[in-house]
Structure 1
Amino acid sequence: MRIALVTGLHGLARHEAAQALLSTSPHSLAVHHDLARTGEGTVLRLTHGADGTHEREQVRLDHACASCTLREDLIPFLLRTAEAGHHDLVVVEAWNSVEPQLIAESIAARDELRLAAVVTAVDTARLTTDLSTHDDLTDRGLDIAQDDHRTVTEVLTRQIEYPGLLALRGEPTPHTLALLAQLNPGAPAVPTHAAADGWSGTEFDTGAARARTEPAWAHYTDHPEEHGVSTVTWTRTRPLHPGRLARALEDLASVSLRGRGRFWLAGQPDNLMVWDSHQDLLLVDNGGPWLAALPGAALDLVPPERRAAALRDWDPEVGDRRQHLAFTGVDMDARALVELLDSCLATDEETGQEFRHDPFSALSER
C-alpha cells in the first residue's frame, strides 16, 4: 500500500496539499492525528476517504506525544489498513509541529508499506515571518510533549529541508522561492493543488534524505546572493581554536537564518563536532569520532553515507577531519562571516597543544 506523508506548520496549506493527494485515487484514505490534547493523555485520530466517509476516534496512549502516537497508533493503523486491502493509498497528514524524518523512516522500515512521497506544505505569506520569529512552540500552543522546547523556526526549517517536494499555498515571491531553494535545493516547489502531480510511481528514498540532512556527513555548496538570499559554505582543513570559537559563537549564529555542518576542534582530534543553528539558537554537539580516528575494523559499523562523505573529503594528512559549515541567510555579509571564521582557526603552533580551558571539553566525554 502506498503512503504519502504531508507535513507542515501551516495547517491550511498542509490540508490543501493532503486533499490534492487524496484526489488521485478513488480508493484513497487520509489520516490525521490531532495532538492538541496530548496534555490530557489523549489523541484524536481523524480519517476520511475519497468516497466521502469520515471517522473520528479518541485514542488513549500510555504517553501522549508525537513519537508515542507514531509507534502505538499510526503505524499499527497503517498496517491494519494495508492488510484489509480496501485502499491503495493512505495520505498521512501530520500535526502542525511534527517533523517528517521519524515518521518517514518508520513507514519505510515496514515491508507492507511503500513510502511514495514526502511533502511539506508552506503558506508563502507566513514563511519569512515564521523563519525569523523568536517564538517557541509553547508560545503558539504547538508543543506536543511536556518538555517540548523547540522553536517555530527550528521546526519549520527541518520540515522544509527533508521532503522531496514543497507545496506552496499562495503566490510566492522571488525571495520566498530563493529561500526555499537554498534550504532544500533538491525539492521542487509547486502550488498545493499540484502536489499530486508526477509522484504516483515513485518511492521516497529515506537514505538519500538522511544523507542530505545529517550534518555529520552532508555535503553543502555555496549559493550566490539571489533576491537577498545567499548560502556561504566554509571548508578548511585546519582545526579551530576552542577559545576563540567560543567567543565568536554568538556573532556566528546571529548572522544567518540557518547554520549546519561539522567542525574540528584543536585539542579534540578524535571528535567530529556538529553545528546546528536556527537564527541565534545554536546547538553544538559531539557527532562521534572522525573516521580517521577509528581502527580499520570499526569502519564496517559506520553508515555507508558517512563513509562515502569521508572518502570524498579525504585528505592524506588529516583524513576526514575538516571544517564544513554552511550558513543560509538574508542580506548576509559573506566576507565578514568568512573572515570571522578564519580568525578562529588555530595556528601551526597552537594545533598540537593541550587546551586546559576548552569550553567544549564536556562534549568530548559523551
Structure 2
Amino acid sequence: MSDHIPVTVLSGSLGAGKTTLLNHLLTNAGDRDIAVLVNDMGDVNVDAELVAEGSDTDVAGGVEELSNGCICCELQDDLETAVVRLARNREFDHLIVESSGISEPAPVARLFTTESAAAARYRVNGLVTVVDSRLFVDTFGGEGTPERTAAEEDDRPLSDLLVEQIEVSNAVVLNKADLCTDDELDEAEALVAALQPDADTVRTAFSEVDPEWLLDVERFDEGEVNDLPGWKRALADEEHEHDGEHDDGHGHRHPDEVYGVASFTYRQRRPFHPERIAAVLRDLPDGVVRSKGTIWIADNELRQTVGQAGSSVRVEARGPWIASLPEVEQDLYRSNRPSLEWDEEHGDRRTEYVVIGTEFDEDALRDRLDDALVTDEEWEDVDALPAGPFPTENQDETALREPAPATVE
C-alpha cells in the first residue's frame, strides 16, 4: 500500500447532500483525522462555512476553501497549491475534496494522478457522486418532467451533469432515498449500473453513509481499464461478440432486465440523411436515459459525436474522418493506429451509437434509425442533400434538443 495520503473526490448536483455527507463523515470519523477542501462557485464559500460549523474545533482546522471558481477548470492551480499546503502544514489520514455542484470529478482526480506536486503526496482513493434520488428518478422518468440547468453559472442541462458525474464515479450515494419508493430506488440503481457498471451503490437518507464503506475501500485504480462508463463498455463488449462473448444476436446487453433497463449498440457503414437523423435524435423515446456515440452524416467530412442525457441532445464535430484526408496523411494515421477498423470502401467512416434506457422499444428505434439512412438513390447524388443542423467546423457544437424550462408555481 502506498504511503501517499488517500483522496476522495466528492461530487454531486447542487442540493444532493454533499455538505450533509461531509458533516456526517467528520462527526463519525472515529480515529481518522480527515482534512476537507471545499469548492464553491460564489464569492463566499457557504459550504466551507457549513462544514466548519458542523465540525469540532480539531477537524475544522483542516477545512480549506476555494471560492469564486470551479476546481475542475480555472482553479486547478489553486487546488494544487491548497492540497500541497495542507500536506505540508498538517498531518491527517485522508483528504476529501468536495467540488462545486457543477464540477466534474475526473479533471480533479487527474491532478492527483499526473506528475505534479500534489501527486507526489496523494493518491486517489475513490470518486464518489452523491445523487438526489428523487431528482434522479424525476429527471429520467418517462413523464417528461421539465429540467433545470445545473446552475446559473453553467448552462448545461441538469441531466447532462448528473450523467457525467455518475459515469466517472467509483461509488454512488443514492441520497434522499426516503423520498422514493422501493421500486423507484430499484430502477435508479439499475440505471446507475447501466451508466457506470463498476460503481458501488448505497441508499441513504440524510447522507448517513458508513464511513468505512466510503473511505476505507480502495476503489480507484489508475491503470484499470474496466472502469468504463456504460456506453463505452457497450462498444467494447460488442467487439468481442464475434468470439461468442455477450452475443445474443442483436448487439445489445441488458444490465438489469428485472427493472426494464437495457442497452444496445447501433452500427452502420452507411451515412445518415442529415434531416432525417436529426428528426430521430430530437424525438428519442422517453425511456432513453443516455445515448452517445459517433455518427456518419452524408456529405459531411467531420465525425459527429452525439451526447444525449434525458431531454438534452447535443452534437459536436470531433475532427475529420481519416478517410477524408489525403492518402499520405491516411497512411500516417493508420500506421500509428494499427487497431483502427478500416473498410476498403468507406475507410473509418461509420456509425457507432449506444443507447441506454428503460422500457423503450428497441426494435422500433432501430427501424427509425435504419429509415434515417440515405437510400441508394440519395447516395448517388449526396451533394444534393440538405446540410441539416450538424456542425461543419471542427469542435463546433449544436443543440438538437434542449429541456423544456422548469415552471415556477
Question: Matched residue of 1:257: which SS?
Answer: strand
Do residues 184 (structure 1) and 196 (structure 2) align? yes
Do residues 152 (structure 1) and 175 (structure 2) align? no
Do residues 129 (structure 1) and 129 (structure 2) align? no
Give 5+ residue unaligned stretches, structure 2.
204-208, 239-251, 397-409
User: Match for residue 295 of structure 2?
Assistant: 263
Shift of 1:331: 1.8
User: Match for residue 333 of structure 2?
Assistant: 299
Shift of 1:196: 2.8
In 2: Cα distance, 1:334 partner to 1:359 partner: 25
User: Match for residue 234 of structure 1?
Assistant: 266
User: Match for residue 253 of structure 2?
Assistant: 223
Question: Matched residue of 1:150: which SS?
Answer: strand
1:355–1:25 CA distance, 2 compared to 1 (3 A): farther
Deviations 1:293-334 (A, max 9, x none): 4525753998xxxx58x63x4444433322111222232111
Question: Matched residue of 1:235: which SS?
Answer: strand
In 1: Cα distance, 2:391 partner to 2:348 partner: 23
Do residues 114 (structure 1) and 128 (structure 2) align? no
RMSD between aligned residues: 3.6
Contact residue 291 and residue 299 of structure 1 kept, 8 A: yes
Please show how residues 70-81 of structure 1 align to structure 2 within 5 Å: 70-81=75-86
Shift of 1:94: 2.0
Deviations 1:255-301 (A, max 9, x none): 52222111111212x32110011223210110112344452575399
Contact residue 303 and residue 318 of structure 2 kept, 8 A: yes
In 2: Cα distance, 1:70 partner to 1:207 partner: 28
Shift of 1:12: 2.4
In 2: Cα distance, 1:131 partner to 1:70 partner: 31
How much identity, in percent, do the aligned residues show? 24
1:59–1:101 CA distance, 2 compared to 1 (3 A): closer
1:206–1:68 CA distance, 2 compared to 1 (3 A): farther
1:58–1:262 CA distance, 2 compared to 1 (3 A): closer
User: Match for residue 310 of structure 2?
Assistant: 279
Give 5+ residue unaligned stretches, structure 1.
none
In 2: Cα distance, 1:58 partner to 1:195 partner: 22
Question: Matched residue of 1:175: which SS?
Answer: helix
The amino acid across from 1:250 in the alignment is R
User: Match for residue 99 of structure 2?
Assistant: 94
Shift of 1:181: 0.9
Could you tell me the TM-score, scaled by structure 1's length?
A: 0.78
Task: Say which of 200, 215, 233 aligns to 1:196.
Answer: 215
Contact residue 18 and residue 30 of structure 1 kept, 8 A: no
In 2: Cα distance, 1:144 partner to 1:72 partner: 24
In 1: Cα distance, 2:263 partner to 2:100 partner: 30
* Structure of higher CA gyration radius: 2
Do residues 358 (structure 1) and 358 (structure 2) align? no
User: Match for residue 407 of structure 2?
Assistant: none
Contact residue 317 and residue 391 of structure 2 kept, 8 A: no
Deviates more, 1:91-100 or 1:257-266: 91-100
In 1: Cα distance, 2:304 partner to 2:30 partner: 44
In 1: Cα distance, 2:369 partner to 2:315 partner: 16
Shift of 1:346: 1.6
Could you tell me the TM-score, scaled by structure 2's length?
A: 0.71
User: Match for residue 320 of structure 1?
Assistant: 348
The amino acid across from 2:258 in the alignment is E
